[in-house]
Structure 1
C-alpha cells in the first residue's frame, strides 16, 4: 500500500513538472514556470527511490499504470476534457498490468 501512495505522489509531481514545460513551450507562459516545474521533477525522481523494490526497472514499470491513470485525471480535472471509453479501457488495462507487476510472485 505504501508503494501505491508513493506512486500517486510521484505521478502528481511528474505531471506537474512536465506541464510546466508544456505551459512554457506550448501555451507561451513565462519561463519562470520552469523553476517549480524542475523542482517537481526532482521530487518525482526522489519519490521513486522510496519504493520498496531492489529493481529500479520493476519499480518504474509498475509506476507506469499509476502515471497513466493520473495523467487522464489531469486531462479531466485540469484541462476540462472528459476521458472517453477508450481512455478508460486503456487505463483499466494499464492498472491490471501494474497489479501483476506489483503483486506477482517474483523471484528474488
Structure 2
C-alpha cells in the first residue's frame, strides 16, 4: 500500500507541477493573461505541498526521484495536451528515468 500511495502522490505532484508550468507558459508566452499565470502559480504551490505527503522522510530522495517522474510526465503531458509525438529516444529516456525512480524510491534498504 505504501508504494501505491507513493506512486499516486508522484502522479498528483506531476499533474500540479507540469500543469502549473503549462498554465504560466500559456499566460505569458501565449498571451492568455494574468489569470492563467495566477492559476499556474497556485498549481506550482500545490506541487510543493503534495511532495510533503510522500512516506519517505528524506527531501533529497523525494525530489531526486520526482525528477524522473517529471521527465516522463512532461512527455505524457505534451502528447495529451500539445499533440507532441515523442520519438523512440524520448521514450527510452523516459523509461530510464522511471527505472531510476524505482531504484531510488523502492529499493530495499536495511
TM-score normalised by the shorter chain: which range applies? over 0.9
CA contact (8 A) 2:20 2:40 kept: yes
2:59 equivalent among 42, 56, 59: 56
Consecutive unaligned residues of structure 1, counting only runs of 5 or more, are none
How many pairs align?
107
How much has 1:93 moved relative to structure 2? 0.7
Which stretch has the larger CA shift, 33-42 or 86-95?
Answer: 33-42
CA contact (8 A) 1:8 1:67 kept: no
> After the TM superposition, which parts of structure 1 deviate over 6 Å for at least 4 consecutive aligned residues?
none
Give the aligned partner of residue 20 of structure 1: 23
Structure 1 residue 98 corresponds to structure 2 residue 68: no
Give the aligned partner of residue 36 of structure 2: 33
**Structure 2 CA distance, aligned partners of 1:75 and 1:42?**
21
TM, length-normalised to structure 1: 0.92
How much has 1:105 moved relative to structure 2? 3.1
1:86 equivalent among 72, 86, 89: 89
How much has 1:42 moved relative to structure 2? 1.3
Q: Secondary structure of 2:32's partner? A: coil
**Structure 2 CA distance, aligned partners of 1:39 and 1:101?**
28
